[in-house]
Amino acid sequence: MFHKEGYKIIGVTFLICLGINLLSIYFIEKTWVVQLILALSIIIFILILQFFRNPKRGTIIDNYQAVAPVDGKVVVIEEVFEKEYFKEKRLQVSIFMSPINVHVTRHPVSGKVTYSKYHPGKFLVAWHPKSSEENERTSVVVKNEQFGEVLYRQIAGAMAKRIVNYAEEGQEVIQGTDSGFIKFGSRVDVLLPLNAKVDVSLNQKVKGGVSVIAKL
C-alpha cells in the first residue's frame, strides 16, 4: 500500500525509467550497458516505492497514552520552553526519520485540533539544535481529554523539501490516523505536558501509530 502523496512521483518515475530503457535498447548496441541501465532503473524505482509505502498500523486507542507520530529513532528527550503556542515548559520527545523510514505522520493522541500552522524556513539538517525554530515546519495541537493539549511539529530536514499537513483547526482526529507526510528525510517533535511519563529512551527505534512514547 502506498501513500497518496507518492502517486504522482511513482508514476513519473516509472515513465522516465521506461523511456530511458526503451531508448537504451534502440540506441545502445552493447548488451551489458543495456542490462546495467535496466538494473539501475529497477533499483531507483524500488527505492521510490519503499519511500512512499504506507503500511497499516493496528493502533490501540488509549487516551492515557501518546503514540509515536512517525517511524524513526528517538534523538531528543528533554524539558524545553515551548515558545510558539504554550509559552511554557513542556517535555519534548523528538524522532528522526532517515530516508528509508516510513514518512507518514500520524496523530499521537485523539481529540480536537485546536491549532495548525505552517512556517516557511530553512533546510538545516534535522538534528540541528535550531531546526525546530528555523527550518520549514508545521505545528499541530490536539486537545485530548486526559493529556490536555499535545503539540507535534513536522520539521523539514536537509533533504525534505515538502511537508504535507492534513490537520485543520476544529477537526476531530483519532489516534494513529494519517495526519500528513514529509518527503525525503525529516524529524517530528512531540511536546507533552510535564506530568507525562516518557516511555521511550534515547536512540530507541519506534513505529508510528504503534510505539507508546508517553503515558499518564
Return the bridge partners of 182, or none: 163
Q: Which helix (H) or strand (E) holds 14?
A: helix 7-27
Active site residue 98: no
Q: Measured between alpha carbons, how far is 50 from 1 in angstroms, rounded to an integer?
A: 10
- Closest to 17 in 3D by CA, of 35, 49, 52, 44: 44
Q: What CA dihedral angle connects 74, 75, 80 and 81, to 10 degrees?
A: -100
One of 41, 110, 131, 186 is an active-site residue; which one? 186
Q: Is 44 exposed, middle or buried (0-12, 13-18, 19+ CB in 10 A)?
A: middle
Residues carrying an active site annotation: 186
